[in-house]
Amino acid sequence: MYSVTDPASGQLVEEVANSTEEEVRVAIGRVYDAYPDWRRRSVPERAAIVARAAEGFEERADELAQIMTLEMGKRINEGRGEVGIVVDIFRYYAEHGPALLADEPIDIKGGNAVITKGPIGALLGIMPWNFPCYQVARFVAPNLVLGNTILLKHASICPRSARAIEEILHAAGVPEDVYVNTFASSRQIPGILADARIAGVSLTGSEQAGISVAAEAGKNLKKTVLELGGSDPLVILDTDDMDETVNSTATARMRNCGQSCNAPKRMIVLADIYDEYVDRLTKRVAEYYVPGDPSDPSTKLPPLASTAAADEVAAQVSKAIEQGATLRAGGRRITPGAYLEATVLTDVTPEMDAYYEEIFGPVVIVFKASDEDDAVRLANDTPFGLGASVWGTDADRNRRVANQIDAGMVYLNRAGGSQADLPFGGIKRSGLGRELGPAGIEEFMNKKSIRL
């Protein structure tokens, strides 16, 4: 069952029945049958439709933000900001798609060849609830320009976002069978992946979902992109403005109520500034103690996406404390609704679950590093490898540390975030493949070698 439950109040707003097996079969048939015509259209024609989709998202930004606020508790201004990035992504691929898909001549031994860049077929997208519009955009925009068709299964708490996105794309001129939303359940995914008409799958979500989808896709030899969790390190080597460092790093962690895969989740601070950082951070996060209505722009602490999510994060915090971590700030689960005070933990050691697991909520763990090498060691002591950030006043030192961090992305003197033209993705248990930028259009591409 898909449903909308307001996480600020816990009230059920709408239920939507799952697609039946027959409906799923029909949906697969539609995207499969639509592929030959869509791929035959010229790249500029598809790009023009994608450019119109950008306008559609822009026009409906307020409505989309309100839907996200209701479905998963996103603060209204963050929702508008998310739609702004979505618009950028559609515009980026509309503008750059034709150049990114141009033939690439290469000299080879004994002659010449050309690499053409074409689509591979009908794709399945499985998307999460934390950025209901952005996650879909970064999969859909490049693949529509490339010429693939799309069957989209959104998170079961986001049916309204799913419907609105489908409407916007169709209104922009994406043929109805080129982009099809399905309310399939995750139990129906193996059947979809086993269907020969589906050529590949992209999932953003939990490690568990990633493992299951990768296993099914592997069995069926389907190309896969996985964007999974992270426990990104934020390394602070030194600072000439501690207030600014504390403000920026706390804000980065609290964005989207801590539910971003690439949020900085482990602050790793050199010993000489550790006490001052922890002291100021604990004072700073107090502004995220008062629960508020996420549709009110002055709200600092919105709910998490669901009661289950808030309970799970609160349980992770309690377990860390039971296992010996020190609670420096917050930690209180607030009801009614899915609220959790911003929380700061220190003295987390490798024996504790919180050391290695991802905490997907407003929780900061601060580690003390004895020196630069120790900071790198702590940063890399994680099963994940999504993003990281390095903060300090010495640009060479920042780069030296960045080069040693095992992650798909490293940001210098800034944390996380995402933009249309910068490739995004992880290594280790954070996933496979890249989205956004030039790399994002290549994942489901047939780079065909034509020997001249």
Q: Which active-site residues does the annotation give?
A: 227, 261
273 φψ region: left (φ > 0), alpha (ψ -120 to 50), beta (else):
alpha
Site for ligand NDP in 349-368 (CB under 6 A): 358, 360
> Taking the complex as a whole, how short is the minimal distance between the CB of residue 115 and ligand NDP, in angstroms?
31
Is the CB of 83 or the CB of 228 nearer to ligand NDP? 228
Residue 113 or residue 211: which is nearer to ligand NDP going by CB? 211
Q: Give the x-and-dash track for 165-204 against ligand NDP (CB under 6 A).
A: --------------------xx--x-------------xx
Neighbours of 15 (CB within 10 A): 11
Do residues 274 and 374 make contact, with C-beta atoms less than 8 angstroms apart?
Answer: no
C-alpha neighbours within 13 Å on the C-beta side of residue 138: 32
Torsion of CA 213, 3, 87, 420, to 10 degrees: -30
In which element (H, E) is residue 194 found? helix 189-194
Does residue 160 contact residue 70 with C-beta atoms inside 8 Å? yes
445 in contact with ligand NDP (CB under 6 A):
no
Contact with ligand NDP (CB under 6 A): which of 31, 76, 155, 409? 155
How far is it, in rounded angstroms, from Cα 173 to Cα 168? 9
Dist. CA 22–CA 96, nearest whole Å = 38
Restricting to residues 216-245, name those near ligand NDP by CB under 6 A: 227-229
Binding to ligand NDP, residues 89-148 (CB under 6 A): 126-130
Give least dist CB 91 to ligand NDP, A: 23
**Cα(241)–Cα(448) distance, integer angstroms:** 52
Binding mask 53-92 toward ligand NDP (x if CB under 6 A, else -) reads ----------------------------------------
Nearest distance from C-beta of residue 277 to ligand NDP, angstroms: 26
- CA distances for 166 relative to 49, 239, 288, angstroms: 14, 46, 35
Q: Of 66, 77, 116, 206, which lies in the binding site for ligand NDP, with binding defined by CB under 6 A?
A: 206
Which residues within the stretch 386-405 sit at the binding site for ligand NDP (CB under 6 A)? Answer: none
Question: What's the min distance (Å) between Cβ of 212 and ligand NDP?
Answer: 4
Q: Which two tokens stand for residue 59?
A: 């026009």
Q: How far is CA 197 from the centre of its chain?
A: 27
| Chain contacts with ligand NDP (rule: CB under 6 A) | 126-130, 153, 155-156, 185-186, 189, 203-206, 209, 212-213, 227-229, 261, 358, 360
